[in-house]
């Protein structure tokens, strides 16, 4: 089963001006920086400086900058995806929510109320984790990561990918994908134990290398978009075993993702491909 992440183009031109960004030319529209215009801004008779642009004879400024200068509240409501302006409240600098997902590959156990900061600026709040580590197809919670049954130091050093979050708003719901580095390592260690003990890929408990120094098994902890990967869930070591025994030497691409829909944890999805 091929699992891909849909791509989206988001943002309106006006949004860029209201909330940030530097646009000089877009969709055939020329935007001249206000600083290059022979014009001045004053507030209550006092000169002020704001970042702005002149488009077709009209001046555009960022709402946050105007709110900061004049003194009224400008806020982004992520749940309703609207800009809220309250002239009765003073302006306050927006404080980004703390993202609790780890970036060092340690195990993340989601909790109700956890907030994940997304690259698009959305603060995604987790509301239900009742499915976490509970599945009708497994006997119980996952244990710790596999321990070595061969010489792991004989494998090429593998760099752990950077932490990553992907957020999508679809007609079917609001989805969040969190790259699960801990479970990605579970896949890696399982494969290393298999490769380090198989006669076609090992020697004396160590990974075998070819005449040109190439390893019998190469492991990549991310999957390029052009590669179609097989996906499965929940975790089953047999999935890695079956794939490995079908073609022991080769390059293995793998990654794991936690999937949420409308704040509810759905599953940890494992993706792998051998070439």
Write out the DSSP string of 24-52. SEETTEE-EEGGGSS--EEETTEEE---E
Residues 125, 72: one domain?
no
Q: pLDDT tens digits, residue range 246-263?
A: 989 999 999 999 999 999
Look up the domain containing 253 and give its range.
Answer: 115-274
Question: What's the pLDDT score for residue 19?
Answer: 34
Q: Which DSSP state fits 191?
A: H
pLDDT surpassing 60 at residue 27: no
Is it the case that residue 183 has pLDDT exceeding 80?
yes
The whole-model pTM stands at 0.66
Mean local confidence (pLDDT), 128-154: 86
Residue 257 lies in a domain: yes
- Residue 104 domain-assigned (yes or no): no
Radius of gyration, alpha carbons of the chain: 25
Do residues 70 and 131 both lie within one domain? Answer: no
In a domain, 128, yes or no: yes
Q: Are residues 139 and 268 in the same domain?
A: yes
Distance CA 23, CA 246 (A): 53
| pLDDT band at residue 12 under the 50/70/90 scheme | very low
Average pLDDT, whole number, for the chain?
A: 83
Question: Are 49 and 138 members of one domain?
Answer: no
Q: Where a domain ends, among 40, 66, 86?
A: 86
Task: Work out how many domains the chain is built from and give that number.
Answer: 2
Q: In this structure, is residue 103 part of a structural domain?
A: no
Together in a domain, 78 and 150: no
DSSP assigned state of 168 = E
């Amino acid at each position: 089963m091929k699992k891909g992440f849909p791509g989206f183009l988001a943002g309106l031109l006006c949004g860029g001006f209201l909330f940030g960004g530097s646009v000089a030319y877009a969709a055939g529209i020329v935007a001249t920086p206000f600083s290059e215009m022979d014009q001045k801004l004053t507030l209550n008779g006092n000169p002020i400086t704001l970042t702005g642009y002149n488009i077709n004879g009209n001046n555009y400024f960022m709402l946050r900058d105007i709110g900061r200068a004049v003194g009224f509240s400008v806020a982004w409501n992520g749940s309703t995806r609207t800009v809220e302006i309250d002239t009765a409240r003073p302006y306050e600098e927006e404080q980004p929510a703390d993202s609790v997902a780890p970036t060092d590959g340690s195990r993340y156990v989601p909790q109700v109320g956890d907030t994940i900061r997304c690259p698009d600026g959305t603060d995604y709040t987790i509301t239900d984790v009742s499915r976490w580590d509970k599945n009708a197809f497994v006997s119980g919670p996952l244990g710790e990561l596999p321990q070595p049954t061969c010489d792991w130091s004989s494998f090429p050093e593998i760099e752990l990918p950077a932490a990553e979050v992907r957020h999508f708003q679809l007609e079917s719901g609001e989805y969040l994908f969190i790259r699960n580095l801990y479970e990605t390592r579970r896949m890696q260690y399982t494969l290393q134990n298999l490769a380090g003990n198989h006669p076609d890929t090992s020697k004396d408990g160590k990974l075998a290398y070819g005449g040109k120094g190439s390893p019998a098994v190469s492991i990549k902890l991310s999957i390029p978009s052009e590669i179609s990967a097989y996906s499965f869930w929940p975790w089953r070591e047999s999935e890695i075993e079956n794939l490995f025994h079908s073609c022991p030497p080769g390059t293995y691409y793998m990654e794991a993702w936690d999937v949420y829909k409308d704040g509810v944890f759905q599953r940890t999805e494992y993706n792998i491909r051998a070439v």
